[in-house]
């Protein structure tokens, strides 16, 4: 068990199985020591986390959905690293998409759910550049989708 997996366990978290793509794309692409992970939608053990921020979902629920996206991103990193999360060096960048109403302006607070989890789990290696933007809709009506770039060895 890697240090990251031990910290996940200490935080009471489990990584899901790495989700398979829902269309014609690959879940990740490695370019040198950078791993580009395709967008991971908000889904938990009970299925997809759906909703529209500013309409039927609040910031705390949106942040929880973003945390699930972060766990799926890490699951893809684990898959790309042949099961060895110890090869993760740095979270480089996240781009978060929030299914929200036109007047909702707290997208950064929603995506903080993912950013906070990664920083708490990985320390400085979890701190990253980031964008948090609104989307009129997301696939399957999910609340959040996040893609990421990671440095691996």
Q: Where are the domains of the chain?
A: 20-152
- Rounded to whole angstroms, how far apart are CA atoms 95 and 117? 15
pLDDT per residue, tens digit, the chain (153 aa), is 679 999 999 999 999 999 889 899 999 999 999 999 999 999 999 999 999 999 999 999 999 999 999 999 999 999 999 999 999 999 999 999 999 999 999 999 999 999 999 999 999 999 999 999 999 999 999 999 999 999 999
Residue with tokens 């290696």: 125
- The CATH class of the 20-152 domain is alpha beta
pLDDT of residue 1: 67
Cα separation, 89 vs 85, whole angstroms: 9
Q: What is the pLDDT of residue 127?
A: 98
DSSP β-bridge partners for residue 130 = 94
């Amino acid at each position: 068990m890697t240090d990251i997996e031990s910290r996940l366990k200490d935080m009471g978290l489990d990584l899901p199985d790495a989700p398979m793509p829902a269309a014609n794309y690959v879940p990740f692409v490695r370019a040198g020591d950078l791993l580009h992970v395709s967008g991971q939608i908000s889904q938990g053990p009970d299925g997809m986390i759906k909703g529209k921020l500013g309409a039927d979902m609040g910031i705390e629920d949106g942040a929880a959905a973003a945390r699930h996206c972060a766990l799926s991103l890490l699951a893809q990193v684990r898959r790309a690293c042949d099961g060895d999360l110890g090869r993760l060096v740095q979270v480089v960048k996240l781009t978060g998409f929030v299914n929200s109403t036109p007047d909702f302006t707290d997208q950064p607070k929603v995506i903080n759910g993912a950013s906070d989890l990664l920083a708490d789990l990985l320390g400085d290696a979890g701190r990253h550049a980031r964008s948090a933007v609104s989307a009129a809709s997301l696939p399957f009506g999910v609340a959040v989708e996040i893609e990421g770039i990671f440095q691996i060895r």
